[in-house]
Amino acid sequence: MRYLHAVLLLGVFAAVTPAQEPESPLFKRTTDVIYGRKHGTALTMDVFTPSKNSRGVGIIWVVSGGWFSSHDGVNPGFPTPFLKRGYTVFAVVHGSQPKFTIPEILEDMHRATRFIRAHAKEYGIDPNRIGIMGGSAGGHLSLMQGMAGKAGDPRAKDPVDRESSRVQAVACFFPPTDFLNYGEPGKDALGRGVLKDFKAPFVFQEFDPRTRAYVPITDEEKFLAIGRAISPVTHVSADDPPTLIIHGDADKLVPIQQAELIIDKLKKAKVPAELVVKKGAAHGWPTIGKDLERFADWFDRYLQTPPTKEK
């Protein structure tokens, strides 16, 4: 059942707008661009390049629902509002649960962001004007990229890894933000409680040098420490990017309290942040596609001109 839930969540975003042909007068689509390799397999993204009026801005679309990611979730209709405004959209497919856990998925997102920045000239974008968006798990991963993006390693052998994985603006739908205070203080949702049907992404593992095998982490303190590390609210700081969240106040899977927590913390840090509340809406709503225009407006506001320095 938990995998069905994940597929259904991803389907919400795959179906928010009517599908278009792979090639359209509006854009050029380049499929299966390899941004990294993992355990002998390729990590891929699709790149949607506007046919005209490119504004030199890149938007990462995190293709994820319940931390399940699939190329089948890439609906060419989804990036339409952004392509119409001249944005280049990168539809990133990450290593998916149940095979991979959230910490492993986060490394995929760092790699994807670094790859896009390293190839910015090739894609006609400014490496210092990159936004990110997603919904539910994709929203969580977007916030983690915004709050916990990393500097590059100047000594890395791979030039991609020398690049920063930070982004300059975030827009997302109903994201988990604090797994240790989920819905109320002290309520744990690390594959437990409300998220008990999403156990696989939270089966954190570590390498046992004695057996030379990966084993589940059973030590509760270590387990909770990872839970804090994968919670975006833990990483909020004054240099975070402007952040927009749209969330339904009747959402039972991801309580709106999750959005309220991080928006409040961002505002206290003097980071531009806005929460749009959808009255009576649950985890998704029939007109969610129209709210993509709000995302585009947000990116218009904060990515129109290059920042004075990279976040």
Give the Cα separation of 77 and 171 in Å (integer): 18
Task: Tell me, letter by letter, the H, E, C secondary structure of 225-285.
Answer: HHHHHCCHHHHCCCCCCCEEEEEECCCCCCCHHHHHHHHHHHHHCCCCEEEEEECCCECEC
Cβ proximity of 74 and 10 under 8 Å: no
pLDDT band at 12 (very low <50, low <70, confident <90, very high): low
Burial of 233 (0-12, 13-18, 19+ CB in 10 A): buried
Distance spanning both ends of the chain, measured CA to CA: 40
Structure tokens at 90: 């990168």
Asked whether the predicted pLDDT for residue 3 surpasses 70, the reply is no
Rounded Cα gap, residues 145 and 105, in angstroms = 11
| Side chain identity at residue 114, one-letter code | R
pLDDT in tens, 205-230: 999 999 999 999 999 999 999 999 99
Of 292, 258, 252, give the one whose Cα is nearest residue 275: 258
Report the distance separating Cα 168 and Cα 116, nearest Å.
13
Name every residue whose Cβ is closer than 8 Å to that of residue 4 and which is 6 or more positions away in sequence: none
pLDDT digits (tens, 9 = 90+) for 256-302: 999 999 999 999 999 999 999 999 999 999 999 999 999 999 999 99
Phi/psi of residue 281, nearest 5 degrees:
-90, 145
Separation between Cα atoms, residue 226 and residue 159, nearest integer Å: 29
CA distance 271 to 253: 27
pLDDT tens digits, one per residue of 113-144: 999 999 999 999 999 999 999 999 999 999 99
What does the block give as tokens for 230? Answer: 């994968």
Residue 241: per-residue pLDDT:
98
Please report which confidence band the pLDDT of residue 11 belongs to, taking 50, 70 and 90 as the band edges.
very low
What's the distance, CA 103 to chain centroid?
13
Which structural domains are found in the chain, ordered by start?
A: 2-303 (3.40.50.1820)
